[in-house]
Amino acid sequence: MDIEIDTFRIFIRDEEDKKRSSTWHVNNTGNSVYLYVNSLGGRMKASFHPEGKSSDGKDSQFGFEKKYREKLTAESYDSPKPLRWIRPKPVNDSVVQVAKVLFPTDYLKGSVADERENYKRETDSKRKWRFSLPIAKEGEAVEVSLFYSIKKPNDIEDVFIRKGFTPMFYIDLPNGEIVSVVGRNVAFDPKSLPNPNKNPSIKELDGMKQINDYEENLHITLFGDPKDGEVFQLIEIDGPAIIR
């Protein structure tokens, strides 16, 4: 049985904490839901908004935040516009997947020590829910997915279980939509990784470590053009990577 929660952090690790992913953050503000690497919250994130909020009809986007793009421009850095698309919508009793993050075991690096220390220094009043999931076997990845529906969690739990997911948390949005966060282990094919040397459509964003001065390697690889109605996917490979 999953639990209701409005903001939480999640990461993948082994029992000895020798392999560990970045910490990912999911939260909502009103009817908008946000997904991002914890250390990049004010700079880069995926946003899922209610219909009718944007002038171009696109209710979802991923990329640098507006204020941060302006900062990069002022400092003579490139500041690409965010990817924008229309997320899949639940119809009647349907449950639709809108995003997933893959954590392939073979590509996870060591523990991010400075992030753990920063967390220890937080006061209890500032701490958000923070959960760790067990790492998958070699050759597999942990998949954490976000699903939208208009049915209550108890009514759709069996749907997730039949698909091999374990329901973990859900967010009850004010407009009546439910965002369920679920997880499962899946086979991971390294051939699915983006390769900028073989695909001319691949776009890269480099230099984020120098700009942000973080310990994590935050190289982001983008390829393909956003397509409406598709599931948004990210893969953490030595820092987050994105596939559309």
Measure the CA–CA gap between 142 and 101, rounded to whole angstroms. 8
Q: Global pTM?
A: 0.82
Query: pLDDT tens across 86-101, in order?
Result: 999 888 778 999 999 9
The pLDDT, as a whole number, for residue 214 is 38
- Residues 145, 30, 128, 241: what is their CA dihedral angle, to the nearest 10 degrees? 40
69-78, 142-151, 163-172: the lowest-pLDDT one: 69-78
pLDDT for residue 83 is more than 60: yes
Query: pLDDT tens across 176-186, in order?
Result: 999 999 999 99
Report CA-CA distances (Å) from 224 to 194, 204, 205.
10, 11, 14
The pLDDT, as a whole number, for residue 162 is 93
Query: pLDDT tens across 191-232, in order?
Result: 777 665 554 444 444 434 434 443 344 555 655 566 888 899
On whether the CB atoms of residues 146 and 87 are closer than 8 A, the answer is no
On whether the CB atoms of residues 103 and 21 are closer than 8 A, the answer is yes
Continuous H helices in 2-98: 66-74
Phi, psi of 192 (to 5 degrees): -80, -5
pLDDT for residue 67 is more than 60: yes
The pLDDT, as a whole number, for residue 111 is 53
The pLDDT, as a whole number, for residue 53 is 75
Across 59-72, average pLDDT: 85
Beta strand 232-236 with 95-104: parallel, antiparallel or unpaired?
parallel
On whether the CB atoms of residues 28 and 173 are closer than 8 A, the answer is yes
Measure the CA–CA gap between 145 and 85, rounded to whole angstroms. 18
Measure the CA–CA gap between 47 and 66, rounded to whole angstroms. 12
* Conformation bin of residue 16: beta by default, left when phi > 0, alpha when psi is -120 to 50: alpha
